[in-house]
Amino acid sequence: MVADARAVWATATVESVGTAAADVALVRLRSDHYGISAPAGSHLDVRLPLAHGDAVRSYSVVRSSSGRVDVAVRLAPASRGGSRAMHALSAGDTLVTTQPLQGFALGAAASSYVLVAGGIGVTAILPMARELVASGREVALLYAGTDRTRMPFLDELAELLGPRLDVRASSEGCRIDPVEPARLAAASTDPMRAEAYVCGPVPLLDDVRRAWSSAALPSTNLRFETFAGGSGSGGSFSVRVPALGVDAVVGPEETLLDALVREGVPVLYDCRRGECGLCVMSVDDVVGRVDHQDVFLSDAERAEGRTICTCVSRVSPSGGSSASASLALR
């Protein structure tokens, strides 16, 4: 099948739950509405019943065939409940999910490809590597993680790519230099047609994007996807929308968007990963520091402090741990 962006929700059954690496569960789901196969870059949206209400989480499709889809989920220490719920699944359980959706499509016209995976972001990159190798394309992969035992699919990628795989484990003192994707593209046979695909934490994406721009490479040839939403690590903070008479508290295990929707604020949203910009709202006042965790706003927009991506960004105290944080939106 061809993955698209029109979500159709249906029930899926958990066929098996395995282990892809330390703290990474490999969940196989089965549903008639998955079709035959999903293209590289596709993902599933999953509706999960959490303590503060149902929530939607997105997981990259690692492998698919004949009505079956594999997703890999890392158990996040600062999880808002999604990864814990996925890790608690057992064979026979049921979930409500979409069909494979496309939001990170792999282009077919590049002269060469640079793939960059940070941590669990490898789940989006692995199918791309498979497809590019199968089609005989020029490809290199930079794969970063804390430790090799916590880096899923490492053996498969090593067999698939051989010397074209460059592993950077921070436990071994190795990290990705943000200029490397641009450097690899510039050294290719046709730099202006080289494409880079990056999936990982927001700071890595920001740094790679700045380096790509500095190298004067086409901005449209750098494509990226985040692998998670806001961490919730900023703790609780209050939010006000004076025009609507809303005054609420954003808990440590929910996003600002979750709190606004709970209070009936009409907010547009889609990706829930800080990428699409639909949920951006104007900031009227802030006590504390806005912790921008999106990839939509530019550095200049963040510095101005006039807008916030409500699906991932938070407010943290600017003083000690006892200080309060609050946000007023308009």
Burial of 304 (0-12, 13-18, 19+ CB in 10 A): exposed
75: left (phi over 0), alpha (psi -120 to 50) or beta: beta
Rounded to whole angstroms, the Cα distance separating 222 from 95 reads 34
- Mark 86-96 as b/e (b = at least 16 C-beta within 10 Å): bbebeeeeebb
114 contacts 195 by C-beta, under 8 angstroms:
yes
Return residue ranges of the chain for CATH 3.40.50.80.
112-226
pTM above 0.85? no
- Fill in the DSSP letter of residue 258: H
Residue type, 41: G
Question: Residue 233: its pLDDT value, please?
Answer: 46
Q: Which residues are within 8 A (CB) of 241 and not within 5 positions of it... i.e. 6 or more apart?
A: 260, 263, 265, 328, 329, 330
324 contacts 288 by C-beta, under 8 angstroms:
yes
Q: Give ∠ CA 203-206-212 in degrees, rounded to 5.
A: 140
Q: Which CATH superfamily is domain 10-102 in?
A: Translation factors (2.40.30.10)
Ranges of H-type helices in the chain: 82-87, 122-134, 154-161, 180-186, 202-214, 256-262, 299-304
Question: Digits of tens for pLDDT over the chain (330 positions)?
Answer: 445 557 899 999 999 999 999 999 999 999 999 988 999 999 999 999 877 677 788 899 999 999 999 999 999 876 667 899 999 999 999 999 999 999 899 999 999 999 999 999 999 999 999 999 999 999 999 999 999 999 999 999 999 999 999 999 999 999 999 999 999 999 999 999 999 999 998 889 889 999 999 999 999 999 988 765 444 445 789 999 999 999 999 987 788 998 898 899 999 888 788 888 899 999 999 999 898 888 888 888 988 999 999 998 999 887 655 568 899 998
- Which tokens sit at 71? 């997703």
- Mark 35-50 as b/e (b = at least 16 C-beta within 10 Å): bebbbbbbbbbbebeb
Question: Residue 3: its pLDDT value, please?
Answer: 52
User: Coil, strand, or helix at residue 122?
Assistant: helix
Place of tokens 């104007």: 282
Return residue ranges of the chain for CATH 2.40.30.10.
10-102
Q: Which residues pair with 73 in a beta bridge?
A: 25
Question: Residue 251: its pLDDT value, please?
Answer: 83
Residue of 23, 11, 74 lying closest to 47 (CA atoms): 11
Residue of 132, 200, 138, 134 lying closest to 170 (CA atoms): 200
Query: What CATH number has the domain spanning 112-226?
Result: 3.40.50.80
Question: At the topology level of CATH, where does 237-329 sit?
Answer: Ubiquitin-like (UB roll) (3.10.20)
User: Coil, strand, or helix at residue 180?
Assistant: helix
Return residue ranges of the chain for CATH 3.10.20.30.
237-329
Rounded to whole angstroms, the Cα distance separating 242 from 210 reads 37
Place of tokens 């789940």: 123
Rounded to whole angstroms, the Cα distance separating 26 from 49 reads 20
Question: Residue 197: its pLDDT value, please?
Answer: 97
CB atoms within 10 A of CB 160: 18
Residue type, 104: F
Place of tokens 């490898």: 122
Question: Residue 271: its pLDDT value, please?
Answer: 79
